Structure 1
Amino acid sequence: MASDENDVVLSFNDSLIRKSDVILLDPPNWLNDKLIGFCFEYFEKERFNHSADKLCLINPDVTQFIKLAPTEELGPFLEPLNLPTKQYVFLAINDNNDATQVGGTHWSLLLYIRSRQEFRHYDSSSGSNKETAKKLAYKLQPHVHAPMGRMKFIEMDGPQQHNGYDCGVFVIATAEHLCREYCEGFSISLNDTVTADTMQEKRVKTRELIYKTAEEFGAIYPGS
């Protein structure tokens, strides 16, 4: 019997992945917040759990709230994340700036590095999300305890996509690479490991990771 697209493939901490989400890993689909959120949660809680005290990979839903919510509401909302204690804070940003609308058309990655007191923006379609990312950085500044007046925002010369649908995959791959670099001393450059040519492989590996995690954590999934 064919499984329904609403069937749950994986339940992992706060992530709930359905078959309809997994289907998005087939090109030319645009990855949604559920897939990016799972990868971020897996990196923090499993893949790089040896550095959990340093890392915070914020769920895209939370990032969207930070971006659109009134400033006065952010303090109590962000307090459980313990951002002032984290050395590296990752946020996946989309270009939807309308609180009444769902979705968007582009993802990029924002990283705060405490030791350098700077936000770095990695955009696989250079410049597309720059203004959105900069506004988010300054909105987040007091909540990561970045020094006023000295914080920097840098648009990075990162890997670039060659199509209109791989931006989310670039966000996942870039975040993973940077976690390896900062937490494990990985020394190969970002632009050598995250390229347009490796995105299809990353889609396949992300699908494999979802099913492997489902098996490991005893989640119920349809199996096809």
Structure 2
Amino acid sequence: MNLEKRTISELPYVLIPKSNLKILIDTGSTKSYCNPTIAENFFQNKIRKEPFIVKTAHGSSRGNFTTLVPCEKLHVAKEKVIEEKNKDREDLPAIPPEVYVKTVQKQSKTKPKYNKEIIKTIDHELKTAQIIPRHHNTKEKIHLSNIRRPKKFSESVINAWDDTLDRSEVLTKKFGLNITREDLLTLRESNWLNDKIINFYMELIDQRSRQNHKLPTTFSFNTFLYVSLKAGGYTRVKNYTRKTDLFEKDIIFIPIFKAAHWRLITIYIKLQKIEYLDSLGKDGTDILEDIKNYLTEEHNHKKGTPLDTTNWKFTQRTDIPLQQNNDDCGVFVCQYAKSLGSSEEIQIKHSQIPEVRKLMCEEILANELL
């Protein structure tokens, strides 16, 4: 077929977004207009002799030539997007051999996540790097903006952690709780989190659930439930749920402080299981038994019959990240609940704790999870 008799719409091409570039593709078929030898002479050093496949309406054609087309407009547009994303982050640090980068696996349904990868080469002009993937399905090329960097935090966090100011000053109030500077200082450095901080944070998790109907419905008890339950039995705590039907929720969180250590109970009503999460890996058999008995009596009180737990599972999670000191148990409890409340994998690591503490302070001051 002659070139004059074919319209541009009949030729395979790639349209570069945000530019006026339209790249025609020569498939090397018998009806091709461009002899590969001619193309190689014309483009000279822009030819890459690597196998490729072009899929067209006529099927797939294989060839051994492709060309690199300069897309200056596209690079400029991309840099503007990256600059906007990075405006609240610190300057790009020197790139060490091993870094944590947000990698994307080749299946489109896989969520990006940060993994420790080894840098092979860096292209400073394009701001990209080749990594040596630890997983065979991870893409090898990344942009340097995907390297984990510390996030800048607002002046409000600096103010909240200034212990030269009035410690009794109320810096935020919601959920019937007044959070003072004294409370927020428990998030600084290696301090132990107090009840008010944990209760407020659990309320933020429930608030997120109410605002996003795609997430599981959650209900968080305050930190006094277990203490009251042990002190006075079910009678002492039966009014804790006077406005809530636990058995209509997807997930129930119970933060527990026992023997100078925070731990978390997670109840999955529909899945009929109760899990015990402890960042020190301590045994929680007695706590699981207490919560099972509480749930049985709660069902009897609300539904008129004891809860049949014959098919329920009671598990101590051993696949969770653990703390490496005696100070961060409260932080781990909050982050366990934050991840589970959004059906995400728990990925908190000990090395991230300073950054997580700052983020928690920011979230409490903003009255929402960030």
TM-score over 0.5 (shorter chain): yes
Deviates more, 1:171-180 or 1:133-142: 133-142
Quote the residue 2:363 is aligned against.
Answer: 209
The equivalent position to 1:3 in structure 2, one of 160, 165, 174, is: 165
Quote the residue 1:127 is aligned against.
Answer: 282
Q: TM-score, normalised by structure 1?
A: 0.78
Q: Secondary structure of 1:149's match?
A: coil
Quote the residue 2:201 is aligned against.
Answer: 39
1:8–1:17 Cα contact (<8 Å) kept: yes
Quote the residue 1:142 is aligned against.
Answer: 297
Q: Which runs of 5+ in 1 are unaligned?
A: 96-103, 215-224
The equivalent position to 2:257 in structure 1, one of 94, 98, 106, is: 94
**Structure-1 separation of matches of 2:245 and 2:189:** 36
Identical amino acids, percent of aligned pairs: 22
Q: CA deviation at 1:180?
A: 1.3
Quote the residue 1:29 is aligned against.
Answer: 191
Higher relative contact order (CA 8 A, sep 6+): 1
Deviates more, 1:147-156 or 1:116-125: 147-156
Q: Secondary structure of 2:187's match?
A: coil
Task: Please identify which structure carries the higher strand content.
Answer: 2
Closer, same or farther: CA 56–127 of 1 in aligned 2, 3 Å: same
Q: Which runs of 5+ in 2 are unaligned?
A: 1-163, 300-305
Task: Please identify which structure carries the higher helix content.
Answer: 1
The C-alpha deviation readout for 1:122-165, integer Å capped at 9, x for no partner, is 10011255423432333233325742333321000121100001
**Structure-2 separation of matches of 1:64 and 1:44:** 21
Matches for 1:107-186 after TM superposition, within 5 Å: 107-143=262-298, 146-157=307-318, 158-181=320-343, 186=344
Computing the radius of gyration over CA atoms, which structure comes out larger, 1 or 2? 2
The equivalent position to 1:196 in structure 2, one of 324, 337, 350, is: 350
**Structure-1 separation of matches of 2:192 and 2:231:** 22
Alignment: residue pair count: 197
Q: CA deviation at 1:29?
A: 0.8
The one-letter amino acid of 1:118's match is K
**Structure-1 separation of matches of 2:366 and 2:241:** 31
The C-alpha deviation readout for 1:55-108, integer Å capped at 9, x for no partner, is 10112123432343322343344232221211110010110xxxxxxxx51001
Q: TM-score, normalised by structure 2?
A: 0.49
**Structure-1 separation of matches of 2:285 and 2:172:** 33
The one-letter amino acid of 1:112's match is I
**Structure-2 separation of matches of 1:159 and 1:141:** 30
Quote the residue 2:222 is aligned against.
Answer: 59
